[in-house]
Amino acid sequence: MSYSKARSPGAGEKAISAAALVVLASVLAGVCLRQRVFDPAVLAASAAGAPAPGVRAQGLLASWPDGLSPMGAQEAFGPDTLSDKIDGKADLYLSAGFVSLKAQRVGLAGSPPAWMEAFVFDMGNPSNAFSVFSSQRRPKAADAAIADYSYEADNELCIVHGRYYAEFVCSARAQSTMRAAEALARSFVAATAVTEHANVGAEEAFFPSEGQIAGTVALVPSDVFGSDKLSNVFIARYRDGAGEVTLFAARRATAQEAARQAQELRSFFVDDCGGKAAAAPAAPLGASLVELEGRYEAVFSSGPYLGGVHQAADRQSAERWLSVIAARLANGPQ
């Protein structure tokens, strides 16, 4: 096999190459500069709270409240593409029965810097919608009295309307933007018919109000306390001395199913998590106590109900709260 010796380029070829590089660099700089500059028509439309050229004034709503209009086309996502929009949180929605997401940015007239983004999650049924609503609820949230359930926290308004869970996230926390979010939420509710509304009043009655931390009743859709065998369980957090404790409860189709799941959860704490079974408490009959990493878990079933205590500070605390939730479920929530 023979090899040929490489020929060195001449002066003319070097000059042509250099000129080509200059042209390419100029084109690249122009492209980068163009990407950093918005179309003046789009900027003007956004500043006026009007849709950009070519964008229909519909999308999420067919008719928009005064002073609000879309800044861009509506986006749509399904189970396979949800993570493209909310990377890092998709599993929460998927595990709760997510069907689809519609999202759209909205401009506020007279407030060029202000805008919001609306996220409307179709969760399949009201129970699923409440589960993500309650799981996402922020500390110190304030009820907003909109739709089935709602709250405002920081720059965000969240609601449940039937099978839909919706978030309206403002660019900044201000009275004008939050009032605009409320107007948009009410318009969405008025324009969106649902066949069934969310109502977890019966499940909230599982838990006594005394000592309960406001706004902490939540529905955990799957992997409850880390167990992949336990799903759809309601929880509530309570003040316990200087700390907190969690009570949990769920109704099952039969007493046998409730008893089986109670045993499975106890086995999970002992066999999978390395907990140590403790002596059974005096009441309720059949309850199990497990010491796990210095804290206590308590599990029991009562008829069709599964319930217990999660992460009590000590055995005395676990038994005290166990008596509270057991009495609550003994004859069904009152």
pLDDT tens profile 27-43: 333 433 333 333 333 33
Q: Among 25-34, 165-174, 233-242, whose mean pLDDT is lowest?
A: 25-34
- Mean of the pLDDT values across residues 269-277? 96
How many separate domains does the chain show?
Answer: 2
Burial class (CB in 10 A: 0-12, 13-18, 19+), 188: buried
- Mean of the pLDDT values across residues 7-24? 42
In a domain, 161, yes or no: yes
Specify the pairing of strand 305-312 against strand 295-302. antiparallel
Co-location of 286 and 319 in the same domain: yes
| The pLDDT of residue 244 is above 90 | yes
Closest C-alpha among 318, 300, 302, 319 to residue 310: 318
Per DSSP, 148 falls in state S
CA 22, distance to chain mean position in Å, is 50
CATH number, position 228:
3.40.1000.20
Which domain does 181 fall in, by range? 43-52+65-191
What is the DSSP secondary-structure string of 14-44?
HHHHHHHHHHHHHHHHHHHHHHHS--HHHHH
With contact defined as beta carbons under 8 Å apart, do 299 and 234 qualify?
A: no
With contact defined as beta carbons under 8 Å apart, do 167 and 153 qualify?
A: no
Question: Which of 150, 166, 191 represents a domain boundary (last residue)?
Answer: 191
Tell me how far apart the alpha carbons of residues 297 and 312 are, in angstroms, rounded to a whole number. Answer: 7
User: What percent of the chain shows pLDDT beyond 70?
Assistant: 80
Residue 187, C-beta contacts closer than 8 angstroms, at least 6 positions apart: 61, 63, 64, 65
Co-location of 324 and 236 in the same domain: yes
* Average pLDDT of the chain, as a whole number: 84
pTM, whole model, 2 decimals? 0.78
Co-location of 230 and 292 in the same domain: yes
Beta bridge partners of 240: 243
Closest C-alpha among 231, 225, 249 to residue 333: 249
